[in-house]
Structure 1
């Protein structure tokens, strides 16, 4: 297994932590990744029951003041398929957390790549955090059925929020996402195709016919309806 460390530039904004990843050196040798996003982690834990039977919720939003990322190339590789691990370490200074890190699994399936899973590790400050938040170190995973898939020759772009649930109480919210993997370039031209929020963590659509493998793609319902209408139109045309 080989590894490469990304050059990371952090813009600390009041609303969201901003991360920009990539370097010329990284793009010259595997793994090929170039990305930028804004993000935050939202914690919502039940605190106490009220007199009317409802439950109050205590919320906390963590915005990293700094982020360090590293990539491990080929976790496993078969034919043209391989998986890259992106290790995300955050600076928790000034927050209610004592640690917070995440691992993102980026898998290639022939001409496509997808975020197939994410693992989150965090712990709250025993003295400084609100009572409902867990004191023990937490290990959470996103759903493996929640993934978006993009051609390796395209650029995935999504300005709107992409919330990713880690169980019932924790969500990671990405915004202003730009991501390339495997066939990444630092300055893609106007002729490079863009996936503009067609595929994110929304609705599971099988794309066996496209890839030859039983993989899931996440698309908005409108895009799913478009694909269905296109299929029905073509079938009707063949029948005539």
Structure 2
């Protein structure tokens, strides 16, 4: 069973409070501004076939409503901080009895990144298909940074961003716009946009080619050049 419609959510959050739609920024930092459409895809093996392959039963959950709240953690350093974004979903009309997620947003000086996500869900004993687990599930995504963006920039990605939670569950974000820490409700043309490059599909942080990311690329490139030069000279001496 697959549901094809998409719900679009725009959220403007301040610490411990949520505002839906376009609204003025709240007074209490840190700020998060997020806009995305999303769904959760479940794919569980159901039975083995006569030719040795395995059938898969799939279900796509699209929340009929989403509520976010933010929680602070203790400063690790004066310029570094982690925000926990608590995502609660409305499961009415679905095969789930509950579904929630926590997104970890970490600041490192002038940059921020999603570092991990935790997903909790339960299927309805009576209404869900047989392969889906009946006990409550606690799953985590990879702890690798999903993207890295300057706190003064806006992260934008129109293409799908799939995030795996093990072998059977994926959260797929679409049409994402995200800001953290130095967010503004209506960013002007003077605010830099970082469009997605590799999305969440690799463990390589997605960054604009400026600042720290450019430094990493320069160091890697220089290292490759030095190694190539060394091998060339060594080969010349051998001849």
Does TM-score exceed 0.5, indicating one fold?
Answer: yes
Q: Give the direction of change, closer, same or farther, for the CA distance of 1:29–1:166 in structure 2 (3 Å limit).
A: same
SS of structure 2 residue aligned to 1:78 = coil
Bigger drift between 158-167 and 207-216 goes to 207-216
1: distance between equivalents of 2:40 and 2:115?
A: 19
- Listed one character per residue, the Cα deviations across residues 76-129 of structure 1 (whole Å, up to 9, x for unaligned) are 441200000000000000000000000000000011000100000000000000
**What is the deviation of 1:145?**
1.5
Change (3 A) 1:29 1:40: same
SS at match of 1:220: helix
Q: Structure 2 matches for 1:55-74, cutoff 5 A?
A: 55-74=54-73
Sort the Cα spacing of 1:229 and 1:148 in 2 relative to 1 into closer, same or farther, 3 A.
Answer: farther
Which segment drifts farther, 190-199 or 129-138? 190-199
Whole-angstrom distance in 2 between the partners of 1:71 and 1:32:
9
Q: Give the Cα–Cα distance (whole angstroms) in 1 for the partners of residues 186 and 226 of structure 2.
A: 31
Partner of 1:24: helix, strand, or coil? Answer: coil
Following the alignment from structure 1 to structure 2, what is the Cα–Cα distance between the partners of residues 28 and 130?
46
In structure 2, C-alpha distance between the alignment counterparts of 1:44 and 1:16, rounded to whole Å: 35
Structure 1: distance between partners of 2:227 and 2:188 = 31
Q: CA RMSD in A?
A: 7.3
SS at match of 1:216: helix
Indicate how the Cα distance of structure 1 residues 106 and 16 shifts in structure 2: closer, same or farther if over 3 A, else same.
closer
What is the Cα deviation at residue 32 of structure 1? 0.8
The count of aligned residue pairs is 234
Which whole-Å CA distance do the structure 1 matches of 2:200 and 2:96 have between them?
26
In 2, are the aligned partners of 1:200 and 1:219 still within 8 Å (CA)? no
Give the Å deviation of 1:220: 19
Give TM-score scaled by structure 2 length. 0.77
- Separation in 2, partners of 1:19, 1:239: 69
Q: Distance in 2 between matches of 1:152 and 1:37?
A: 18
- Write the distance in 2 (CA, Å) between the matches of 1:230 and 1:199: 31
CA gap of 1:24–1:123, structure 2 versus 1, over 3 A, is same
Contact 1:106 1:114 in 2 (8 A): yes
Q: Cα distance 1:25–1:232, how it changes in 2: closer, same or farther (>3 A)? A: farther
1:172-215 C-alpha deviation (Å, 9 max, x unpaired): 00000000000000111101110111352133347999999999
CA deviation map 1:27-66 (0-9, x unaligned): 4321211110000000000000000000000000000001
Relative to structure 1, is the Cα distance of residues 161 and 140 closer, same or farther in structure 2, using a 3 angstrom cutoff? same
Q: Which has the larger displacement, 194-203 or 206-215?
A: 206-215
Give me the TM-score of the superposition, normalised by structure 1.
0.77
Q: Distance in 2 between matches of 1:26 and 1:218?
A: 36
